[in-house]
Amino acid sequence: MTTGQAITPVTAEAVTAEAVSEALTAFLAERIKTEVAPDQDLFASGLASSMFAMQLVVHLEETYDIAIIGPELKLDNFRTVQAMTALVLRLRDG
């Protein structure tokens, strides 16, 4: 596994996205007691409130050692597991 990641960065990236997505899904399952699909809108479906969104900001910052500030703090970045995963990867790369 480790060798595979080291050899092909593309795979490593895919694994990372998968890992982030899985960890987030598990975090959400624990917090909102619901299994969510990666593209499920957490806010439209009433599963999450803006209060909860704030907790997501802090959770992502601390879990992935990133700073989410300014324009990145828009609700759309936290709407789905997919969007949050993309945000994490983008900020870690940056």
Would you tell me which residues interact with other proteins (CB under 8 A)? 31, 49-55, 57-59, 62, 69-71, 73-75, 78
CB of 56 to other proteins, least distance (A): 10
State in angstroms the smallest separation of the CB of 57 from other proteins. Answer: 6
Q: How far is the CB of 21 from other proteins (least distance, A)?
A: 21
Task: Tally Cβ neighbours within 10 Å of residue 50.
Answer: 9
Q: Which CB sits closer to other proteins, 17 or 32?
A: 32
Taken in order 20, 21, 22, 26, is the CA torsion positive or negative?
positive
CB of 90 to other proteins, least distance (A): 17
Residue 33 or 94 with smaller CB distance to other proteins: 33
Q: What is the DSSP string of 40-92?
A: --TTTTTS--HHHHHHHHHHHHHHHT----GGGG-GGGGSSHHHHHHHHHHHH
Q: Which is nearer to other proteins, 11 or 55 (CB)?
A: 55
CA distance linking residue 91 with residue 40, whole number of Å: 22
